[in-house]
Amino acid sequence: MDDDLIALVVSDAGDHMGKAVEHTQSEFSAIRTGRATPALVEHLKVDYYGTETELRQMAGFSVPEARTLVVSPYDKSSLGAIEKAIQSSDLGITPSNDGTVIRLSFPIPTEQRRKELVKVVKQKAEDGRVTVRNMRRTARQELEGMQKDGALSTDELDRVEKDLDKITQDNVAAIDRLLAHKEQELLEI
């Protein structure tokens, strides 16, 4: 019974850490590198007949060239609302509407802008690492509570904490790899 509870605490912490890594990765994908990717606009909220709707539910995306994103609305009458949402977003891109699709041309970011984006990415990576460490701390507190209740010996606690530290290190390393990849992508000309 106690071993199952211990395994559950460790497994739960590992799952939450994995979700923190996934969240960090999704945060990175929303940062513009100069390349066109649907991740930059698919979560934009569009006022569609008075309802806030995500763009990905209203349109398809294609990337015909590395720096061009084409947004094809399923309902052509929503073209104006989609264009307005893109213009009012923080992308800093002016959409080109030809009556059937919206084209977004992504300029190459300046060196200064790329360095600013690297700082943003590093901050998001640090937020992810902090989340992972907080998961470790929460799991440790649960395990220490189990030890105080007598359900866990000191030796078992040390062993489980080593397992927990290994899981934490693996997830922090995953965030570091994502950061290195995104940093390289941003600094590429």
The full set of domains in the chain, from first to last, is 2-30+110-187 (1.10.132.20), 38-105 (3.30.1360.40)
Tokens describing residue 60:
């398809």
Round to whole Å and give the CA distance between 181 and 178. 5
Nearest to 20 by CA among 123, 129, 167: 129
Burial class (CB in 10 A: 0-12, 13-18, 19+), 86: buried
pLDDT tens per residue across span 112-171? 878 888 898 999 999 999 999 999 999 999 999 988 988 888 888 899 999 999 999 999
Range 7-13 average pLDDT: 90
Q: Are 152 and 2 in contact (CB under 8 A)?
A: yes
Question: What CA–CA distance (Å, rounded) separates 77 from 84?
Answer: 13
Tell me what percent of the residues of the chain surpass a pLDDT of 90.
Answer: 34
Give the tens place of pLDDT for each residue, 65-121.
888 889 999 988 888 888 888 888 877 788 888 888 999 887 777 888 788 888 989
List pLDDT tens digits, range 26-51.
Answer: 888 877 666 777 877 888 888 888 88
Asked if pLDDT for residue 1 goes beyond 50, the answer is: no
- The per-residue pLDDT for 22 is 94
